Chains A and B, each alone.
Chain A
Amino acid sequence: MYDKGKVITGIVLFVIVFTFPFWINVGKANIAPEPKINPEVAGKVCVEDKAFMKANHMQLLDEWRDSVVRDGNRTYMGGTGRYEMSLTNSCMGCHNNKAQFCDSCHNYISLTPNCWNCHIESKENTNG
């Protein structure tokens, strides 16, 4: 191979520059957030179990939305009983600490759900 020295040096330099963002940040990863549950609702049971909600809450909310708006069905048979399908009244009724619960993960993954453009965060945050 001609110019062996230059080629190999070039490849090594390329690999170093290309992987720069990875190795410069090794060990500096932000700690994954732990969404906090309000102490006063600790021990209460959610509509589905924690693992399911963690993975599927967005699909569940979409299903709730379609069911309520399109079919007029407003209650959901959850793990431990019947719940109103309402973000403000059911979900935020218990998880009324949006900043520590919803936002902690959504901010971590740089996600901005547009739910709260219209839906009111919680009863505590309203004037009326």
Chain B
Amino acid sequence: MDSARRNFLKIAGLAAAGLTLKPAGNAFGMGVIVPEPDGAAKFDDALSAKRWAMVVDTRKFTAQTRKAAVAACNKAHNVPEIKNPKHAIKWIWEANFKNAFPDLAGPHVPPQVEREPMLVFCNHCDSPPCVRVCPTKATFKRKDGIVTMDFHRCIGCRYCMAACPYGSRSFNYVDPRLHLGQTSVDFPTRTKGVVEKCNFCAERLARGQMPACVEACRNNELIFGDLADPNSSVNQALRQNFTLVRKPELGTQPQVYYII
């Protein structure tokens, strides 16, 4: 009698454990069919390059064209305008020479250079410290050199903001949608708690368009092209002019070049 009951309990226990196997397996994703995107491809008119780079011709800029370039970027990427400077979101903005090039700003800078601010934005470094420190690989460098972000993966730790020596990254301390007048449907907004920055308009290049800031400047103030192509407009500008990059001594190898 006792023995029979013990056996019965053992079998009952095993049967109950067996019933939990399938739900447990499902929870771990066994047996779920994940579809692969069939024939995923680029748009036919997509612009491609081995190494995208930008040249900023600061001599050609006026206050008006700088404003136009910033406005075009903000509109294209739903960048909110937040009055509080601690919460401000910046993809492309104006900086003084002595702030953009602190290591080069000696005591005798020409008044024109000292007075006129210049446009600064993400340098899309060849050796980007933000990518190195990102714990979730939300920030990554594409094969064509663009340092961009997967906002879905950003956990808002802000390591990248500490790592970037150019202040090119902004954190959404508040819901950006509260500070957006108009929204552009071609680009998502961000949510509170993620970091964002310039992406060299990867979404526009994919459709065959030049970056929004480049398009807003009609007089070749911003030159965008493939650094790997010797005949590209970028390489021509680099051959004909003496250019600077920001904080080269840090070894980040910035790919935004400035003609002063």
Chain A contact residues, CB within 8 Å of chain B: 48, 52, 56, 59-60, 63-65, 67, 69-78, 82, 85, 88-89, 114, 117-120, 123, 126-128
Contacts and interface: CB of A to CB of B under 8 A. Distances in A.
A128 B41 CA distance: 29
B163 interface: no
B206 A74 contact: yes
A126 B183 contact: yes
A71 B202 CA distance: 11
Given A56-B35, A69-B152, A77-B38, 20 more contacts: A52-B35, A56-B34, A59-B34, A60-B37, A63-B36, A63-B37, A69-B148, A72-B42, A73-B37, A73-B40, A73-B41, A76-B39, A77-B39, A85-B40, A118-B189, A119-B188, A120-B183, A126-B183, A126-B185, A128-B182
B189 A75 contact: no
Contacts of A72: 42, 46, 142, 202, 206
A70 to B, nearest CB: 7
B188 A118 contact: yes
Which interface class (under 10, 10 to 19, 20 to 34, 35 or more) fits B?
20 to 34
Given A76-B40, A118-B191, A127 B182 contact: yes
Given A56-B35, A69-B150, A123 B185 contact: yes
Contact of A89 (B38, B40, B185): B185
B184 A128 contact: yes
Interface in B145-204: 148, 150-152, 181-186, 188-191, 202
Nearest to A122: B185
B33 interface: yes
19 contacts: A52-B35, A60-B37, A63-B36, A65-B152, A67-B40, A71-B40, A72-B46, A72-B202, A73-B37, A73-B42, A74-B206, A75-B42, A76-B39, A77-B38, A77-B40, A89-B186, A118-B190, A120-B189, A127-B183
B28 interface: no
A58 B191 CA distance: 20
Contacts of B202: 72
Contact of A60 (B35, B46, B184): B35
Interface in B98-152: 140, 142, 148, 150-152
Most chain A CB within a 10 A radius of its CB, from B37, B150, B181: B37
B8 interface: no
A126 B187 CA distance: 12
B46 to A, nearest CB: 8
B242 interface: no
Contacts of B190: 118
Q: Which 4 A-B pairs have the closest CB atoms?
A: A77-B39, A128-B182, A73-B40, A117-B191
Contacts of A126: 182-185
Contact of A76 (B38, B142, B150, B185): B38
A118 B151 contact: yes
Given A88-B188, A120-B189, A128-B182, A75 B35 contact: no
A39 to B, nearest CB: 22
Nearest to B205: A72
B182 A75 contact: no
A63 B34 contact: yes
A77 B41 CA distance: 8
Contacts of A74: 41-43, 46, 206
